[in-house]
Structure 1
Amino acid sequence: MRELIYTGFMSLDGVLDSPGGGPGEDHRSSGWVFKDIEFLPEAVALKGEELAETSALLFGRRSYQAFAPVWRDSEDHAAYKELPKYVLSTTLTEEDLLDGWGDTTILRSAEEVDELKKQDGGAIFIHGSAELARTLAEADLIDRYHLLVFPVLLGAGKGLFSRADQDKRMLRLRDSASYPNGVVKLIYGVER
């Protein structure tokens, strides 16, 4: 079974919203990953490490529409170009998909994501896509969380974890590190 891994930048108060400050990111503190926090390559080395493990990408509609036009032409994301991509959306159509960014398949339900996980292949990574992550976590489909927690309190915005009343889930810490700029790497596996 393929692992489904959520990876993202998160503020200390749990906000994922608009970390890069690019097009379509409209949080009042948009770009918080790159503002006021010293850039240290070792603090974001996890992103390069993940690439070696990534066999496919999964997005929600809004994140796909924000990332696809930027990542398709970005040298920093060139390795993602030919990877299979999946978008979970009930509204996206084939005509909405971006040309020139590899094969992209639209999935319509969490059940289809579950079926994708049962296929042969490597890890599937979710970038951004807070609403998608909450939906898939509620369906117990996320296997791992890769979080880079930044020393900033944003006060409001999209969060990773649902506030819905659900059964307790235990996580196991697989790896962690802290960096001089205050960023903390946390990798948790979901216990089943």
Structure 2
Amino acid sequence: MRRLIITAFVSLDGVMEGPGGEKGYRNAGWTFNQLPHDDAVYELKEREQAEAGALLLGRRSYEAFAPVWPSMAEEFARYNELPKYVVSSSLRPEDLVDGWGEITILRSLDEVARLKDGDGGPLLVQGSSDLGHSLAEAGLVDRYHLLVFPLLLGAGKQLFPTRNKDVTRLQLIEHETFSNGVQKTILDVSREGS
């Protein structure tokens, strides 16, 4: 069985929207323009690239990454090589970009569950807040890789679903605080009692 990992830059109040400067969000670029840079923060991203078996994306994140990442061969070399799975009910095969490796459209969370039951390295979910919520609510998330920035953004897409649901217990696996106050937090989803 493959581990499904949600990885995110997140503010202390749970906002994950627009960390790299995406247009349309009032605080776009908050990971780069609010704190001093510390290369050590991004070690987790390098480790993720090395360990991942595939990328799992929602349609909007796919459409944001697909035109950019293939041209960033040095920064995203391993991500560009990995198989990609896009969970979407509306994306058509003719909408997929050429030159970004193997890309498969999944139409349901049942297909994600079957993919997860197969062999291979971890499935890494980048961005994709709506997909992340659906995966969490379906009990398909195994781990969270979070880089928590000491910022309160006040509004924006939230990392965790906000609907009324049962408690999800998490176990801290790894934690580190960097010189600029960013915290690396790796948490496993506890399956006790399920």
Provide the TM-score with structure 1 as the length reference. Answer: 0.97
Q: What is the rounded CA distance, in whole Å, between the counterparts of 1:155 and 1:169 in structure 2? A: 24
Partner of 1:13: 13
Partner of 1:93: 92
Q: What is the rounded CA distance, in whole Å, between the counterparts of 1:186 and 1:87 in structure 2? A: 26
1:148-190 superposed Cα distances (whole Å, 9 cap, x missing partner): 0011111110001111121111100000000110100100000
| Backbone CA RMSD of aligned residues | 0.8
Q: What is the rounded CA distance, in whole Å, between the counterparts of 2:78 and 2:116 in structure 1? A: 22
Q: Secondary structure of 2:45's partner?
A: helix
| 2:63 counterpart of 1:71 | no
Aligned residues: 190
8 Å Cα contact 2:50-2:78 kept in structure 1: no
8 Å Cα contact 2:57-2:86 kept in structure 1: yes
Q: Which runs of 5+ in 1 are unaligned?
A: none
Q: What is the rounded CA distance, in whole Å, between the counterparts of 1:68 and 1:184 in structure 2? A: 28
Q: Percent identity among equivalent residues? A: 54
Q: Which runs of 4+ in 1 moved over 3 A?
A: none
The AA in structure 1 aligned to 2:5 is I
| 2:53 counterpart of 1:55 | yes
Partner of 2:42: 44
Residue from 30, 34, 44 that aligns with 2:28 = 30
The AA in structure 1 aligned to 2:179 is P
Partner of 1:2: 2
Q: Which runs of 5+ in 2 are unaligned?
A: none
Q: What is the rounded CA distance, in whole Å, between the counterparts of 1:163 and 1:132 in structure 2? A: 14
